[in-house]
Amino acid sequence: MGLSKGQKKRLYGNNIEAKTTIAPPAETAHKARTQSVRHDSVEANPESGKSFMFAGVAFVIAVLLMLYYYLWVLPEMSERAGTTISELKFWFDQQHALAVNQGLGRDMLVQYQYIHRSSGLIFPLIFAGAWVAMISASQFAKTVSRLMMAVPVLWALVFILGNFVLDAALANPATGPVGVAALLVAVRWVLFIACWVQLGWMAVRLVQGKIDAFSRGALKGQQPIR
């Protein structure tokens, strides 16, 4: 005949409570930790998705503005000037600035200056903002991220400043800052190419990350690979 609970307590003391307490199995604890990690990941994914969505929308807008500026506005000004407009050249000299000045005439020069204060101002700001958003969404190391963001920001500053200097150079090619304008346009092109190199690196990095996640079975909705 077995002992009752009260008899066991009187016989063994309070140790019986500790002995009868069953510790949760290691597997149960592991599952709890796994569920916690998965919950944290689910909480983090929406923010990352929103960042990529914002960066993607900004990128599309920036590309459309770029195509409008470089494939519509500037070619039209080149046609009016009778020669390639200075912004579309990697380098130009005083003779070229004089040819643009004479080809456009006073009224078209004023219109060209207005372009630099409208679409020529909006385009670099949105382009730089889109690039900064994409770099931020790519989650680089802090130092790398800051260095990469400096490229599009510097490009936008050189672009805007260069347009104002170019206006002064074309308005008076004989004594205007033609050399400074040509230098700023050249730097603009170098930084512009660097921005697209950054985009290529980010794209390769993203694809490699997806491939690595797929190989580990870590993609959203993917069954674990055994």
- Nearest CA to 163 out of 45, 36, 29, 69 is that of 69
Residue 205 predicted with pLDDT over 90: no
What pLDDT is recorded for position 32?
44
User: 89, 189 in Cβ contact below 8 A?
Assistant: no
The pair of structure tokens assigned to 199 is 């985009």
DSSP 92: -
Q: Which residue has the higher pLDDT, 16 or 150?
A: 150
Phi, psi torsion values for 2, nearest 5 degrees: -75, 155
Dump the DSSP string for 72-123. IIHHHHHHHHTS--GGGSS---HHHHHHHHHHHHHHHHHHHHHHHTTHHHHH
Summarised one tens digit per residue, pLDDT across range 122-135 is: 999 999 999 999 99
- Nearest CA to 100 out of 6, 190, 171 is that of 171
What pLDDT is recorded for position 41?
36
Q: How many CA atoms lie within 13 A of 133 on its CB side?
A: 20
Q: How many angstroms separate the first and last alpha carbons of the chain?
A: 52
What pLDDT is recorded for position 7?
57
What pLDDT is recorded for position 34?
43
CA atoms of 141 and 181, how far apart (whole Å): 35
What pLDDT is recorded for position 44?
40
Summarised one tens digit per residue, pLDDT across range 101-121 is: 999 999 999 999 999 999 999
51, amino acid identity = S
Residue 17 predicted with pLDDT over 90: no
The pair of structure tokens assigned to 61 is 């807008």
- Nearest CA to 134 out of 144, 123, 118, 145 is that of 145
In terms of Cβ atoms closer than 10 Å to its own Cβ (0-12, 13-18, 19+), residue 130 is buried
Summarised one tens digit per residue, pLDDT across range 153-199 is: 999 999 999 999 999 999 999 999 999 999 999 999 999 999 999 99
Residue 12 predicted with pLDDT over 70: no
Phi, psi torsion values for 83, nearest 5 degrees: -155, 165
